[in-house]
Amino acid sequence: MVRGDVVPAWRQRWQGWALRGLGFLLLLLAFAFAAFRAPDRPLQSLVVRWAAPPSQFLELRMGAFTQLTHVRDEGPGTDPLPLLLIHGTSDSLHTWDAWTRELSKTRRVIRVDLPGFGLTGPAASGDYRIDAYVGFVKALLDQMGVRRAVLVGNSLGGEVAWMTAARHPQHVAGLVLLDPSGLPFEPEAVPAGFQASLFAPTAWLSRFLLPRPTVRASVEAVFGDPNRVDAALVDRYFEITLREGNRAALRERMLTFLEEVRTPIYREAWLSVRAPVLLLWGARDRLIPPRTAQQYLDLRPASAPTTELRLLPGLGHVPQLEGPAESLAAARPFIEQLK
């Protein structure tokens, strides 16, 4: 029995451990803030390096909102069937640099930073649902005077592309989908940055801290061969992630994604797509493994136009970035036969 102010020995030990643990945690946080502190950067501070010509910023009208939008429009303006290239989660229009260098020699190529990412930054509406992204694409095509286009999308961009084809078929002449999201999938590996955005404490910390090793690990996770990730690529992802509001937007998009995967909208939407489709899949994709492609083939109605699948040996989740020559060679014959 304990009397008065006598403290049991076990409690004294526990309090000592707790104080030492708290002290260690505070020391660790202090070190993290000193080593990895990375505050948001205003858009203007990133423009010189990441938005040189032919970049432009459109004030895109979307109902009651105006979305400042980073766009590049290259190649012959007389092309009757432009290409719209759409990147994935936490990426930017720069992921299509190599594709654009080749395609723009003969084709009009439009690429854009989606709301929440790149230099476009947070969605003016605060809405990160797929239908909001579809509305964004429709508004972009309308404002740029494009009646019909070939939509090319990777990951989230692939999902936005085929959902746009489902909602606005008159605007889509064909789809090139590189490792698209949308239908259910079981990841084998998830980038550290995505995981951190879903856990509230690390999501809060990530608004102030951004360790370059975490950025590198996240990029390596989506490559088939991590040795292909170089310092310049990590630097690009690091700096553009710091665009004011992007880190908070990533968490909102990821939480929205978790809600959307519980709904049945995607199966019905995919069944309604009537545009020709080419599926390109990195054979080493660990985020959306290539076995996922079979769902897209199995659900395609017999009455729909041709759907082709090409596996890309050695490549991961971002074939246009990791293996631009191989992935474009696989896509180009399909693109050129579209009318």
Check whether residue 277 and residue 225 sit in a common domain: no
Percent of the chain whose predicted confidence (pLDDT) is above 70: 86
Check whether residue 180 and residue 229 sit in a common domain: no
Check whether residue 249 and residue 183 sit in a common domain: yes
Task: Calculate the average pLDDT of the chain.
Answer: 88
Does any domain span residue 30? no
Does any domain span residue 7? no
| pLDDT tens track for 322-336 | 999 999 999 999 999
Query: Cβ distance 312 to 281 under 8 Å?
Result: yes
Does any domain span residue 41? no
- Spatial separation of the C-alpha atoms in residues 108 and 54, rounded to whole Å: 13
- Spatial separation of the C-alpha atoms in residues 208 and 29, rounded to whole Å: 11
pLDDT at 203: 59
| pLDDT tens track for 205-215 | 667 678 899 99
Check whether residue 123 and residue 161 sit in a common domain: yes
Does any domain span residue 13? no
| pLDDT tens track for 165-204 | 999 999 999 999 999 999 989 999 988 778 777 666 665 6
- Spatial separation of the C-alpha atoms in residues 315 and 318, rounded to whole Å: 8
Which of 234, 259, 288 finishes a domain?
234
Check whether residue 196 and residue 104 sit in a common domain: no
| pLDDT tens track for 2-39 | 444 554 554 444 444 444 444 444 344 444 444 456 78
* Choice between 93 and 34, residue whose per-residue pLDDT is larger: 93
- CATH code (residue 125): 3.40.50.1820
Check whether residue 109 and residue 147 sit in a common domain: yes
Check whether residue 172 and residue 210 sit in a common domain: no
Which of 234, 267, 294 finishes a domain?
234
Task: Tell me the Ramachandran region of residue 145: left when phi exceeds 0, alpha when psi lies from -120 to 50, beta otherwise.
Answer: left
Across the range 276-295, mean pLDDT stands at: 97
The number of domains in the chain is: 2
Check whether residue 201 and residue 271 sit in a common domain: no
The C-alpha R_g of the chain, in whole angstroms, comes to 23
Q: What is the dihedral of CA 68, 159, 96, 312, to 10 degrees?
A: 170
pLDDT at 323: 98
Check whether residue 124 and residue 214 sit in a common domain: no
Check whether residue 300 and residue 227 sit in a common domain: no
Does any domain span residue 32? no
80: cis peptide before it, omega within 30°?
no
pLDDT at 96 over 70: yes
CA distances from 267 to 17, 174, 259 (A): 54, 19, 15
pLDDT at 4: 45
Does any domain span residue 39? no
pLDDT at 36: 55
Does any domain span residue 80? yes
Highest mean pLDDT among 65-74, 183-192, 198-207, 294-303: 65-74
Check whether residue 90 and residue 176 sit in a common domain: yes
Residue numbers of the domain that contains 125:
49-188+245-336
Across the range 250-279, mean pLDDT stands at: 88
Check whether residue 268 and residue 205 sit in a common domain: no
User: pTM for this one?
Assistant: 0.88
- Spatial separation of the C-alpha atoms in residues 207 and 193, rounded to whole Å: 12
Q: In what order do the strands lie in the sheet with 149-154?
A: 55-62, 65-74, 109-112, 83-86, 149-154, 172-178, 277-282, 307-312
Does any domain span residue 22? no
